[in-house]
Amino acid sequence: MIDESLSQAAAAVARACTILAKDQIQVGGVVSVVNPEKCAAGLTWVRVCPYNVPVINAEGVAEIEMAMCHGCGICGSECPGKAITRQHFTDEQIMAKEESGSRCTTCLRLWVHVLQKWRGR
Ligand code: SF4
């Protein structure tokens, strides 16, 4: 039991080291970004992020670290000022897809992903 735990811990450290050793990391393009000119630092979205990514920076506006964001879009849906946008999934893009008659399953797939993360799967 202890040997197995130590092996798993060593594997986790090795995995973390491969990521931390890089000068740059590539992340998925579907992440949320903040428009600082619209941001009123309302804090609602800070509380709803399941990954605790958004913070208020030194300038007093929201900041989302792209490398940490999972792109679920929950923060953007909660922002009353529409200061947060998920890249490649703007309101205009979603409405255009809706008006084209094609069925969008992005939200369903993202919610399944978030639920799986919460459950640790
Ligand atoms: S998109 Fe999801 S993971 Fe990224 S900051 Fe918003 S709530 Fe957090």
- Which CATH number goes with the domain that contains 17? 3.30.70.20
Could you identify the atom of ligand 1 that is nearest to the CA of residue 49? 7
In a domain, 120, yes or no: no
Give, rounded to a whole angstrom, the gap between the first and last alpha carbons of the chain.
Answer: 22
Picking from 50, 48, 24, 20, the residue whose alpha carbon sits closest to that of residue 114 is 50
Contact 61, 39 (CB under 8 A): yes
Could you identify the atom of ligand 1 that is nearest to the CA of residue 45? 7
In a domain, 109, yes or no: no
Domain that holds residue 22: 2-87
Is there an atom of ligand 1 within 6 Å of 51 CB? yes
In a domain, 95, yes or no: no
In a domain, 110, yes or no: no
In a domain, 118, yes or no: no
Which tens digit of pLDDT belongs to each residue from 95-113?
A: 887 788 776 677 777 777 7
In a domain, 38, yes or no: yes
pTM: predicted TM-score of the whole model, two decimal places: 0.62
85 forms beta bridges with 33
Q: Give the per-residue pLDDT at 28.
A: 75
In a domain, 42, yes or no: yes
Is there an atom of ligand 1 within 6 Å of 110 CB? no
Q: Which parts of the chain register pLDDT below 70?
A: 103-104, 120-121
